[in-house]
Amino acid sequence: MLDIPEDLEKKLRDAISILEDDEKFRIITHYDADGISSAAVLARTLMRYQKGFHTTFEDSFPEKIPEGYPIIFTDIGNSYLARIAELDEPVIVLDHHDIKDDAKVPDEEDKVFINPHDHGIDGSQEISGGTLTLLMVVIQDDANWDEAIYGLAGASADKQALGGFTGSNRELVAEAIERDQIEKTDMLFIDGKTVLDALVKSCDPYFPGISGEKKVIHEMLEKIGIDPGASLDSVSSEHKRKLNSLLMLSLLKKDVPAHVIESIYGTHYVSKKNGLDIDKLYKLLNSCARNDRPGLGLSLCLGDESAFKKAERIRDRYRKEMVDKLKNLDNKIEKKENLQYFYEDKKTMKGELAGIGMLYFLDQSRPVFGLSEVEDEVDISARASKKMVENGLDLGELCSELAEAADGQGGGHDIAAGATISKEKIDGFLETMDKEIGKRLDIG
């Protein structure tokens, strides 16, 4: 049984009433993997009840809001509640990002704002857009538990599975297993046509000095008796253990945090209905999002086999490009006293570059900011480490406050956030951010 706060369950049931009262909906969701996951859970549920929908993917509040149908915001919306409250149509907001207290607005009869932080659930670690949407649809109907794989993919995409699912995510996983929707197995979090292919293109997890280095990988595999051309499934358990030990040792030598090292091997959750692995699914959705193809990600979740194959090809190219960029990221890093930053031409890749870099090889004493110039603005993705957050750093709060002060916009989670600033104000923004981070962290 799910342990749902009573006030949260009431809000979810209010949202369900809107779902049941109408026949067509507009879904507005975030363009990232968790946003795709959220939209997939919702779209598949609406299809089950033969209801119509139209989905759009956004990275901020839409310039034009559709009229005439109820609107459901998934994984986006908490930064725009006042504007959403002014809409004439019925609205549901399912967003796990935290917001300032003064930005909150009261629910109305036809507008339901669902934020897990209001109910004692940490939206940065314990529930995502995908799993919040999943929670709503399984409360609506037990038949919707077969959507668990799609919701949990969103939580994995937001790195909420690192070290194991916690909070509401863990409860949803346990219940899905109990209901025979998901099974679990332990293995490395790498995949590819061959062992060599898997390691050459491994960017999440990333192995500094190994990923992308064919010669190094060949020598390593031959040393432990694994044929580089063998499929992962054909490698014996003993040889897999040896490979895991070598990969862990390589990360230990790079002083990678223990919780990150432990995450390269662990529990995979697989749908018993279609054999989809949550880990692979979220990486496919992430590749679609990072290549401006979120609609393709939604299509594969809706069962389009051709979309699935296209997404696999996109992911294959994306992984190779990501590894190449990660290998050169050190050379692009600029450091201030309390933060580090880099410029990246490809806007959709800077966030993941910052996140993976922060986990595996960048300076662990300073949060990292990835910057991309887009016309007259700079788009920013910021990442911190768990230790920084434990020491009091909240990137989402800082990005929100300092972006607003610079006539921009920003927000996000304590560990991962973003902002958009005009080019003429970016230097001042970084200077102020550097000082504010220094006030919160003792960086020596």
pLDDT per position as a tens digit, 3-43: 899 999 999 999 999 999 999 999 999 999 999 999 999 99
pLDDT digits (tens, 9 = 90+) for 164-182: 899 999 999 999 999 999 9
What per-residue confidence (pLDDT) applies to 103?
67
Q: Which domain holds residue 361?
A: 333-440
Q: Are residues 39 and 12 in the same domain?
A: yes
The whole-number average pLDDT for the span 128-149 is 97
> By three-state DSSP, how is residue 355 classified?
helix
Q: Identify the burial level of 4 via C-beta atoms within 10 angstroms of its C-beta, where 0-12 means exposed, 13-18 middle and 19 or more buried.
A: middle
Query: Is 233 within 8 Å of 273 (Cβ atoms)?
Result: no
pLDDT digits (tens, 9 = 90+) for 78-136: 888 888 999 999 999 999 998 766 667 777 889 999 999 999 999 989 999 999 999 99
Q: Which residue has the higher pLDDT, 153 or 83?
A: 153
Q: Are residues 373 and 286 in the same domain?
A: no
Number of domains within the chain: 3
Q: Are residues 73 and 150 in the same domain?
A: yes
Question: Strand 265-271 relative to strand 182-188: parallel, antiparallel, unpaired?
Answer: antiparallel
Domain boundary (269, 303, 326) is at 326
pLDDT digits (tens, 9 = 90+) for 284-336: 999 999 999 999 999 999 999 999 999 999 999 999 999 999 999 999 999 99
Q: Are residues 426 and 296 in the same domain?
A: no
Q: Are residues 258 and 363 in the same domain?
A: no
Any domain includes 223: yes
Q: Are residues 282 and 415 in the same domain?
A: no
- One-letter amino acid at 270 equals V
Give Cα separations from 252 to 247, 249, 255, 364 (angstroms).
9, 5, 5, 14
Q: What average pLDDT does the chain have?
A: 94
- pLDDT band of residue 62 (cuts 50, 70, 90) is confident
- pLDDT band of residue 354 (cuts 50, 70, 90) is very high
Q: Are residues 217 and 290 in the same domain?
A: yes
Q: Are residues 339 and 255 in the same domain?
A: no
Any domain includes 99: yes
Q: Are residues 12 and 120 in the same domain?
A: yes
Determine phi and psi for 217, rounding to 5 degrees.
-65, -45
Residue identified by tokens 């909240």 is 394
pLDDT digits (tens, 9 = 90+) for 248-274: 999 999 999 998 999 899 999 999 999
Predicted TM-score (pTM) of the model is 0.87
Structure tokens at 87: 């809409």
Q: Are residues 148 and 253 in the same domain?
A: no
What per-residue confidence (pLDDT) applies to 102?
61
Q: Are residues 293 and 360 in the same domain?
A: no
- pLDDT band of residue 443 (cuts 50, 70, 90) is low
Domain boundary (302, 326, 350) is at 326
The CATH number linked to 381 is 3.10.310.40
Domain boundary (123, 157, 178) is at 178
Q: Are residues 72 and 12 in the same domain?
A: yes
Any domain includes 1: no
